[in-house]
Amino acid sequence: MNKILRKVKTNNLFVLFFLIFLLYLSLSSAQLSPRLLDVHLQDLAFKNLFNPRTGVSYDARVPTNLTGIKVSAMRLRSDSLRTRGVLNYKEFKIPIGVIEKPYVERLVLVYQNLGNWSHTFYPLPGYSYLTPVLGLLAYSGDNLSASTLPELNIKIVDRSVLVHFLDMKPVPIGALARCVRFGLQGSVHFDILLPGNVCSTMQQGHFSIVVETNAPSPGPFGCRKVQFGEKNNKNMKIVLLISGILLVVIILGLLVVGVIIHKKGSSRVQELDREVENNEILDMTFIGDIKVPFAFGTRTQPVIEHEYFA
């Protein structure tokens, strides 16, 4: 009986641990989405802001599963940002004239350096990264305890934000380095590289310097939108969506199986308990040559019927 109970409990625990493991895998795979990464890094950056000083950059710690990524936050007054800009915020130089929509009294600029995770979150077929992917996103700074905030729509009137890349690999012989910007909606844009490893932009997003690996001697180009980059991003979103749906279906199915197993185990235990209660084993004894069950405390003792006894 005890062995059966232990076996039922062990099976239930195994099912629960297996479900928890699948849930962990689904959450880990979900982190491969660049947009979910932005949400996660925004939350980490805001948690590091305790009574922050205006215009001061505060670096945040990242979990061990994202080692190599750097993130920081800077809180600013919107009016001050528009009239003064930011001379140096990591690799970014923000000019005057920045306007955000919707308007907020205070905003937070979140800086990202994806380091060795650049290609993982922003794969670019046919191109090789010469620098890490850097990100600059703006959020409302009115409530520093908020999470999963939508990005503010940043517009620059006259000048461009300059991105000065400090850590850049040498350009291969015969290749032409280009600036690349990843839009928040999944688009990919190329632009010319300015002297001093500098890229310019009129919008927020993620930036890097790349070289084309398939064509070592590309011709001159202007700022343009790469269609295959959009298709690749859309395909990745579809794959992630389908994978997420399949994981949810599998987890729900296993939960149903776990509940059924648990109910069957409980019913089996109750059935065994009833059998034990209804089938109590009595001691056996011999009366003459006959083996009969013997219960302690019986009031009437058995009498052998024999023709020699009256």
Burial readout 255-284 (b: 16 or more C-beta within 10 A, e: otherwise): eeebeeebeebeeeeeeeeeeeeeeeeeee
Q: With H, G, I as helix, E, B as strand and everything else as coil, classify residue 169.
A: coil
Quick one: pLDDT at residue 33? 86
pTM: 0.62
Is the pLDDT at 285 greater than 50, yes or no? yes
**Apex CA 261: angle with CA 255 and CA 267, to 5°?**
135
Confidence band (pLDDT; 50, 70, 90) for 167? confident
User: What integer is the mean pLDDT of 11-28?
Assistant: 49
Beta carbons of 67 and 75 less than 8 angstroms apart: no
Q: How does residue 157 score in pLDDT terms, banded at 50, 70 and 90?
A: confident
Distance CA 209, CA 171 (A): 10
End-to-end Cα separation, the chain, in angstroms? 49
Q: What is the mean pLDDT of residues 24-37?
A: 63
- Look up residue 17 and give its two tokens: 């641990």
pLDDT in tens, 205-246: 999 999 998 744 444 433 333 333 444 455 556 766 777 787
Instruction: Please name which of 84, 77, 95 lies closest in space to residue 157, comparing C-alpha atoms.
Output: 95
User: pLDDT by residue (tens digit) across 242-278?
Assistant: 777 877 778 888 887 777 777 766 666 666 666 655 6
Rounded Cα distance between 297 and 108, Å, is 85
> What pLDDT score was predicted for residue 228?
37
Cα-to-chain-centroid distance, residue 235: 19
Beta bridge partners of 76: 107
How many whole angstroms separate alpha carbon 54 and alpha carbon 84? 13
Take residue 107 and report the two structure tokens written for it. Answer: 């905003």
Interval 168-192: pLDDT, tens: 999 999 999 999 999 998 899 999 9
Domain boundaries, the chain: 33-225
- CATH code for residues 33-225: 2.60.220.50
Give the dihedral of Cα atoms 5, 8, 12, 15; nearest 10 deg.
150
Is 238 within 8 Å of 129 (Cβ atoms)?
Answer: no
Position 193 pLDDT exceeds 80? yes
Q: Quick one: pLDDT at residue 113?
A: 97
CA dihedral 50, 53, 57, 62 (to 10 degrees): 0
Q: How far apart are CA 112 and CA 137, in angstroms?
A: 8
CA distance 10 to 14: 6
From CA 54, how far away is CA 47, in angstroms rounded?
16
